[in-house]
Homo-oligomer: A and B are copies of this chain.
Amino acid sequence: MAKFIPLGDISSLLQRYASGEIAPTRLVEMIHAEIQNDPNHVWISVLPLESLRYYARQVEVKDMSSLPLYGIPFAIKDNIDLAELPTTAACPAYTYTPTHSAMVVQKLIKAGAIPIGKTNLDQFATGLNGTRSPYGVCRNAFNPDYISGGSSSGSAVAVAKGWVCFSLGTDTAGSGRVPAAFNNLIGYKPTKGWISTRGVVPACRSLDTVSIFAFTAADAARVLMISAGYDTEDIYSRQKEAYGFDFAAASHFRFAIPRKQHLQFFGNQESERLFTEAVRQLETLGGKAIEIDFEPFLEAARLLYEGPWVAERYAAIQSFYESQSDQIVAPVREIIAKAKCYSAADAYKGLYQLRSIKQHADEIWRDADCLVTPTAGTIYPIPAMLKEPIRLNTHLGYYTNFMNLLDYAAIAIPVGFQNDGLPFGITLAAPAHQDEPLLRLAHALQQAYCLPLGATGIAFPINNDFPELPDPNHVRIAVCG
Contacts and interface: CB of A to CB of B under 8 A. Distances in A.
Nearest to A351: B206
A61 to B, nearest CB: 33
Interface string A321-362: 000000000000000000110111111111110011001000
A429 interface: no
B472 A481 contact: yes
Contact of A347 (B344, B474, B479): B344
Interface string A68-84: 00000000000000000
Interface in A226-263: 232, 235-237
Interface string A378-420: 0000000000000000000000000000000000000000000
Contact of A475 (B312, B344, B345, B477): B477
A359 B235 CA distance: 7
Count of this chain's copies in the oligomeric assembly: 2
A205 interface: yes
Interface in A355-376: 355-356, 359
A257 to B, nearest CB: 24
Interface bin, chain A: 35 or more
Contact of A352 (B235, B349, B478): B235
Contact of A339 (B311, B345, B352, B473): B345
Contact of A344 (B205, B232, B342): B342
A255 to B, nearest CB: 23
16 contacts: A206-B348, A237-B359, A311-B343, A311-B345, A311-B347, A311-B348, A312-B348, A315-B348, A340-B343, A342-B344, A344-B347, A347-B347, A471-B481, A473-B481, A474-B481, A476-B478
